[in-house]
Amino acid sequence: MPVDGAIRAAVFDLDGTLVNSRADITQSVNHALEGVGLPPLSEDEIGAHVGRGVTNLVRSVLGESHQDLFKKALARFKKHYSEHLLDHTALYPGVADTLERLSGLKKAVLTNKPTEYSVRILRGLRVERYFDSVLGGDALPVKKPAPDALLLLAARFGLRPEEILMVGDSAIDVEAGKNAGVRTCAVTYGFGTRAELEAAGADCLVGHFGELARLCRAPGEA
């Protein structure tokens, strides 16, 4: 489904949508696993667990049989990631230019990653200025796919949900958008697979961030 000019705001996921953070997340997870005596995992294995927040990430990579190691593994992950979250993380192609082109739209970042990490990444990559709001997974009592944060942003922006586009790389982002009544666009280059995004029922799919410039123009643009 095409996204038309009625869009007044765009809300973006962070990991897998705005930034490629695979290497730094992988290294921090494997640092945590090493510290509790478990073997390392590949980027793809770890990537399959990204999207539901740090706590869920660590719990899920440990597996059901190693939950007794959770507290130590989580502490090791947080310390390592806090010190290395910008070692390799970079913007995906076209992100900075497209955010500039969408300067007439309200924009926010909505991620299940903690707010502190998110702001530090956006600031370090010099794109924080493009966003009117940054909500991490600790901003509200519930995380995506709950609709609460999207509805809060709609209220802040003074917009109806249907005037907002949620852009993400996972079924969680699509589900959050649907739960909130906003339109959804899934990017196919992130952590989620195309099959997962299609099954989730995203309103549109794009293979490059730059495609968003034509899909959600600011009001009055040709």
- Judgement on whether residues 177 and 114 belong to the same structural domain of the protein: yes
pLDDT in the model for residue 217 = 58
Report the chain's C-alpha Rg in angstroms.
Answer: 17
pLDDT in the model for residue 93 = 97
- Judgement on whether residues 77 and 166 belong to the same structural domain of the protein: no
User: Domain span at residue 143?
Assistant: 9-20+89-215
Picking from 34, 61, 84, the residue at the C-terminal end of a domain is 84
pLDDT in the model for residue 3 = 52
- Judgement on whether residues 121 and 202 belong to the same structural domain of the protein: yes
- Judgement on whether residues 69 and 148 belong to the same structural domain of the protein: no
Would 158 be classed as within a structural domain?
Answer: yes
Would 4 be classed as within a structural domain?
Answer: no
pLDDT in the model for residue 214 = 84
Picking from 84, 106, 135, the residue at the C-terminal end of a domain is 84
**Known catalytic residue at 13:** yes
Q: What is the largest CA-CA distance in the chain?
A: 58
Torsion angle defined by CA atoms of residues 118, 124, 129 and 131, in that order, rounded to the nearest 10 degrees = -20
pLDDT in the model for residue 220 = 47
Picking from 62, 84, 106, the residue at the C-terminal end of a domain is 84
Domain count for the chain = 2
Low-confidence stretches of the chain (pLDDT < 70) are: 1-5, 217-222
Q: What residue type is 1 in one-letter code? A: M
Q: Taking Cα atoms as reference points, which of 117, 75, 118, 89 lies closest to residue 26?
A: 89
CATH of the domain at 27: 1.10.150
Would 31 be classed as within a structural domain?
Answer: yes
Tokens at residue 89, please?
């993380």
H or E element at residue 39? none
Q: Which of 4, 13, 44, 87 is catalytic?
A: 13
Would 54 be classed as within a structural domain?
Answer: yes
Q: Which residues lie across from 108 on neighbouring strands?
A: 11, 133
CATH of the domain at 178: 3.40.50.1000
Would 220 be classed as within a structural domain?
Answer: no
pLDDT in the model for residue 2 = 45
pLDDT in the model for residue 156 = 96
Would 164 be classed as within a structural domain?
Answer: yes
- Judgement on whether residues 74 and 117 belong to the same structural domain of the protein: no
Please list the alpha-helical segments (H only) found in 65-114.
Answer: 70-84, 95-101
pLDDT in the model for residue 102 = 93
pLDDT in the model for residue 1 = 41
